[in-house]
Structure 1
Amino acid sequence: MARVRRLLGLALLISALLRPAAAGPAEDLSRGLAITDPLALRELDRRDHRDDGSTHPGFGLRQMLDPSSSGPLHNDRLFALPAMTALRAELDDEFLNYQQARPGQTLRLFDRDRLYADATRFVLAGIVNRLDRGFVAADGCGEIRLIYRPIDDAAGAPQRLPMTLNIVLRATAAGIACREVARRWLAAGEWPDTGADLARRLIAADGPLALLGPADIDRIEINLQIATMPAAAGGAFRADYLMKVFRFDPASQRYQAAPMENQIDRDKLLADRDLGSRFKRWLLQPENFAAFDRGTLFVPEAYLAHSAIAATPAAFTHSELRLAFGLAGQGTPDPLFSDDDVVAALQRAADRGVALQNIRSPAGFARRLNDITCSGCHQTLGIGGFHFPGVDGSAESASRAAAPGSPHFVGDQPRRRDIVAAIRDGRAPDYSRGFTDRPQLRGATALNGTDDDGWGAACGLAGPDGTIDPSFGNWRCAAGLTCQPVRGAAAFPIGMCFVGHR
């Protein structure tokens, strides 16, 4: 058992460091979909230090959250801004609640003194095109995400803290259509420019970022490593991540905690069985079940939580995910969704001629139920708990990060590109997606060279009778690897790709 846990941790590390390389197929996939050039990001982050005739202020955190001020916005000033005081208070409350819920545990808490210090600042670590989220946007155009990482300069050499702050922008601005936004992004992916030259083109009058600014902010998302726990005897190291979403409240002029998209409030649904029953009826309605299968479901706020804790290393086996979410699956005490409920829903879909893409069994249903949540998505193979940790351009001689995005970020790029191209061309986009663990087969050829099915990947594990659960039948391992149980339980429908034989 301990040996398998060590293998899991090693697979996580090797996959994070090696699986997409900086140059080559992984980088090519994100061209026109994400900005990861560290020198370009540094230029966009520090526009107030430049004088090249451009009128665009850039996308530093000061320009986005305190545009009327001048000078660097260090975190002591940031969290003292009137708009940010409620956000800071919410974070402090979350830390208190987290500690109180774990009395007697050995916790190494995130250092909030460093986060709020005058020597710490947020730097722009990536910009990600999410036009693939047009199905949830009011204008049908999706989002642009600005990813920031906190840097502590107190020790001399800048140190990145394990946290991201995302500013989510509405993708369209006044005077530009969604189709034109898509065209500009894909065109930018063909530019040969790098560094400051790329930054200037991105914010030029005809660039994809030209018209975006503070007025386009939709929300702020926080993801931080709230605590780590050293490995106990025979156990595994663990890190917990706090995730929250904040929206601007015009009445208070502050960013206030908001329901998290599709973060189903498990505890509330299990405590209030009437509410849980309503959610069950709603989700199993054929039209909602079909959207659930396609990954385009939008869960009503009545069923959502305002915060989430995700544990890393990821719980790869179906059993662990079932226990983490606790609403469905064999062995779950008094489940909200029984296997019979799922089988009946699958039969109703078949009777109506609905072709499901992902959910073909109760195990697939349980996996998708976890997969659509913020915490479930983060409990897959991210890099240190993040799917887009971003690049580090803080040093004067900025060098390209080995992996700005997780293997799943890389694996999702063909799907995102198809959607952006469809929007550009005036075609109806196919917003469907596979499970977070494994990309859809429609992009498989584009992923050649990224080792998406390599060591550490989730895979469909054959049971004692040699069969693989139909929801995971296409989750196979690369040549030379076999699908093996993570914790020695051969009955689990999901394993991991390792060297050797079972």
Structure 2
Amino acid sequence: MASRELGEASIGGRNILRAFTSRACRAPRAAIAGGLAVLMCAAAVIPLKGAEAAQDPVRMVLDRPTLTTLESRGFAFAALLGAPRAATLAELRSASPIYADLARWIADDVKALRAEMAANRRPLHEVTDDNVGRIMDLRWLASPLASFRLIGVVNRTDRRDFTALTDQPSCGEVRLIYRLAYHFQRGATTYASRLPVNINAVFDGPRGPDGACPDLARIWTPPPALSGSAEMAEWLAAGPLRGLSLRQIEVNAQVVRLPSGMETELGGQAIYLMRVFRIEGDHLLPKPLENTPDVARLSKDAALKARLVDYVRSHLPEIDRGVYQLPDAFLAEKALSFSTFGSARTANHPFASLFTPSDFAGLAYEQLSYVASPAGLIARLDDNTCTGCHQGAATAGFHLIGFDEPGTSPFNVVKVPVSPHLHADDARRRAYLSALAEGRTPETFRPLSMTPPADWSRPGLPAPRAAAATMACLLPQGETALRMSWRCGEGFACEAIAHNPRLPVGTGQCMPKRATGIVSGMACLSGELVPGAAPYLDRFRIVRQINSPAPSASPSSYTCRPAKLGVPGGSAYRQCTEAERALAGKGASGDQRPPEICAFVGGKAFDLCVATDNFAKCMSASVARGNRPACGEGRFCREDFMCQALPSNLAGAAAVAKDTGYCSPTYFVFQMRIDGHPDPERGVP
């Protein structure tokens, strides 16, 4: 899709944020901001590093109170679709023909996928206690308990590089990101959660009276006198968000989840639907997905496929830099993305599904700055597709998740609201805006989305930093595919966890070279993906066990927890010591944060809780203590895991929880799964 909103250490080691003096701004979430010029705590946050940094433009707004105020100022999802009084999706579907059409498109796609999977002996159910597939309950799209909440405002001035190549050039884009959520009361209990469905409203920034683009860096720079969320929201509404023109609506929705008890080797699966629409009158019309080829159509049309090869060959410099637009004739209007091990699934690599390196042999790779071989070219093309972006250093299929609402169950709270890719890419966006502010031509190059953070403040293409433990890396045979590759940090080496020999450039995770580097939560099973007749029929063949020398669990050594427990790639596991259970000496941040922390793991009681569709009531009694990787600002979780907040009611956790979360398998976090929630119409009895 056109968006990569759908983050790791402070930029250049500098924390350039200042929180204004508001009691709310002392909230723990302020610590996550790192080097991002974003609003992330409970009051306004703006950059500050000397007089010049006070002029740093805002790039993201994630602060929950600011976003809530913006919704009341006309930026609620219902207001965008012409029904500002609609408080729920039931009301919105009745009041907005546009939303009714959007819900119909999603429903039709979900029904078609359901029929296809049933024909392949994968029946799906909305509600079930069995180890069978689960599908999105379409009643959520018209639920009296739910709405789409604003979770982020993103300044994408840099997207003007892409729109300049279309028939609708713009002065950059502004993205309002909305996420499906419900909130209701039953007696004294609050039931509140989000669900893994994002809608991205993409706007073009207005041109000046003379038709030229205004000073975008200045427009996005807040005045230094702002002192709170309300003032920031007012400034945004009257300034950067004023006069926007809606270009398109993008959908990224988890629509199928196959539980780990059913997918015992893969540790579960999920399928995500991606669509892009333009509004015409009261209806939506699908748009081609940016740079995403229609694999089914091209596979059947040799002439069209040959034309695509010719186009790539004749536009090599643009593709090398990562800024290009494939013609609509080649593109799909719908895409499905598959996890777990999404970065290695063939279906998420449409160019690798269509072509081999021999199709792009003999090109002048020696004249390029980034791509060094035919294999590297296919990897570059795949990374710029919707499915490649969707699984490129993402978090459970999303790049922006946002902060949770008050009242969310303490076992269902996200600690880090952005993906590793979005965090790393923020430094590039900051440098882009800085160049505009200084009257320089911005650097337009984009690296692969899994690339570690880099220092973009200097001229020329930046070299990526070394990748941290468990982060994505290129296997040794793939390092020569790109001119600017990266290595794992000291003491670590790149190892394939889910090897796919059908991909021209193999990727892995940074694993410890010695046993002393093992940490709970690291993968303990290395294997190979075996393709099925359909992507959801893929299998995982275990090749060997790693990172787990002990035959059984103990507080002193690591054993291997199998994937069937819901941990893709298995999970190295060590029991907590008594001191670790008390969280003794764990209150640190940044590089001083401990590598692992005694947090929570699932078990039989967890599985029973899942089956109740009422996790808010049973969750606290359904989890057991166990070591997990520590995460937070400057440290992310491996693929198929995400950073979850420590529950506020955990004894001794207050000092630790401010800066540290723990890595959980993504589908252990209820808001990241489409199933297991209350009834969309009745709630709970």
TM range (shorter): 0.7 to 0.9
1:363 to 375, 384, 390: 375
Partner residue, 1:182: 217
Partner residue, 2:400: 388
2:80 to 56, 60, 64: 64
> Deviation of residue 299 (structure 1)?
0.9
Partner residue, 2:173: 143
1:409 to 417, 422, 433: 422
Partner residue, 2:136: 110
**RMSD of the alignment, in Å?**
3.3
Partner residue, 2:358: 340
Residues 1:260 and 1:28: Cα distance change in structure 2 (over 3 Å): same
Partner residue, 1:478: 489
8 A Cα contact 1:37 1:194, kept in partner = no
Tell me, which stretches of 5 or more residues in structure 2 are unaligned?
1-6, 11-27, 39-57, 123-131, 459-463, 515-545, 547-685
Cα shift readout 1:347-377 (whole Å, capped 9, x = no counterpart): 2x54xxx4332x1123212211211111111
> Deviation of residue 390 (structure 1)?
1.8
Q: Please identify, of 93-102 and 103-112, the stretch whose mean Cα deviation from structure 2 is larger.
A: 103-112
Instruction: Using structure 2 for the length normalisation, give the TM-score.
Output: 0.59
> Deviation of residue 471 (structure 1)?
1.7
Where is the helix percentage greater, Structure 1 or Structure 2?
1
8 A Cα contact 2:349 2:382, kept in partner = yes
Residues 1:492 and 1:429: Cα distance change in structure 2 (over 3 Å): closer
Counterpart Cα distance in 2 of 1:90 and 1:125: 23
Residues 1:18 and 1:433: Cα distance change in structure 2 (over 3 Å): closer
Partner residue, 1:40: 66
Counterpart Cα distance in 1 of 2:182 and 2:453: 39
Determine whether 1:169 maps to 2:198: no
Partner residue, 2:183: 153
Report 1:272-351 matches (<5 A): 272-285=301-314, 288-317=315-344, 320-321=345-346, 324-325=348-349, 327-328=351-352, 336-345=354-363, 347=364, 349-350=365-366
Counterpart Cα distance in 1 of 2:474 and 2:342: 15
> Deviation of residue 271 (structure 1)?
1.1
Cα shift readout 1:183-227 (whole Å, capped 9, x = no counterpart): 121x229676332222122224xx322x235xx111111111011
Counterpart Cα distance in 2 of 1:493 and 1:73: 47
Count of residues paired in the alignment: 443
Report 1:196-207 matches (<5 A): 196-204=230-238, 207=239
> Deviation of residue 23 (structure 1)?
4.3
1:428 to 427, 437, 441: 441
Instruction: Using structure 1 for the length normalisation, give the TM-score.
Output: 0.79
Tell me, which stretches of 5 or more residues in structure 1 are unaligned?
1-16, 48-56
Counterpart Cα distance in 1 of 2:8 and 2:359: 41
1:245 to 261, 264, 276: 276
> Deviation of residue 113 (structure 1)?
0.9
Cα shift readout 1:118-173 (whole Å, capped 9, x = no counterpart): 11111110000111110222344210000011111246322111111111111225
3-state DSSP of counterpart to 2:250: strand
Partner residue, 1:376: 388
Give the letter aligned to residue 309 of structure 1: L
Counterpart Cα distance in 2 of 1:154 and 1:299: 45
Give the letter aligned to residue 407 of structure 1: P
Counterpart Cα distance in 2 of 1:256 and 1:393: 32
Counterpart Cα distance in 1 of 2:403 and 2:443: 30
8 A Cα contact 1:364 1:472, kept in partner = no
Counterpart Cα distance in 1 of 2:148 and 2:506: 41
Report 1:67-146 matches (<5 A): 69-80=83-94, 81-103=96-118, 104-105=121-122, 106-137=132-163, 138-146=168-176
> Deviation of residue 401 (structure 1)?
5.5
3-state DSSP of counterpart to 1:144: strand
8 A Cα contact 1:468 1:493, kept in partner = no
Identity of aligned residues (%): 28
8 A Cα contact 2:335 2:386, kept in partner = yes
> Deviation of residue 272 (structure 1)?
0.9
3-state DSSP of counterpart to 1:246: strand
Counterpart Cα distance in 1 of 2:393 and 2:146: 28
Residues 1:194 and 1:178: Cα distance change in structure 2 (over 3 Å): farther
Residues 1:107 and 1:212: Cα distance change in structure 2 (over 3 Å): farther
Cα shift readout 1:321-364 (whole Å, capped 9, x = no counterpart): 4x643544xxx6xxx5342332312x2x54xxx4332x112321
Partner residue, 1:54: none
3-state DSSP of counterpart to 1:136: helix
8 A Cα contact 1:22 1:400, kept in partner = no
Counterpart Cα distance in 2 of 1:193 and 1:107: 49
8 A Cα contact 1:42 1:393, kept in partner = no
Give the letter aligned to residue 182 of structure 1: A
Counterpart Cα distance in 2 of 1:479 and 1:296: 33
Q: If you compute each CA radius of gyration, which structure gives the higher value, 1 or 2?
A: 2
Determine whether 1:457 maps to 2:471: yes
> Deviation of residue 275 (structure 1)?
0.8
> Deviation of residue 27 (structure 1)?
3.8
Counterpart Cα distance in 2 of 1:223 and 1:97: 17
Partner residue, 1:217: 246
1:30 to 24, 34, 37: 37
Counterpart Cα distance in 2 of 1:356 and 1:436: 17
Give the letter aligned to residue 36 of structure 2: L
Counterpart Cα distance in 1 of 2:335 and 2:325: 18
3-state DSSP of counterpart to 2:87: coil
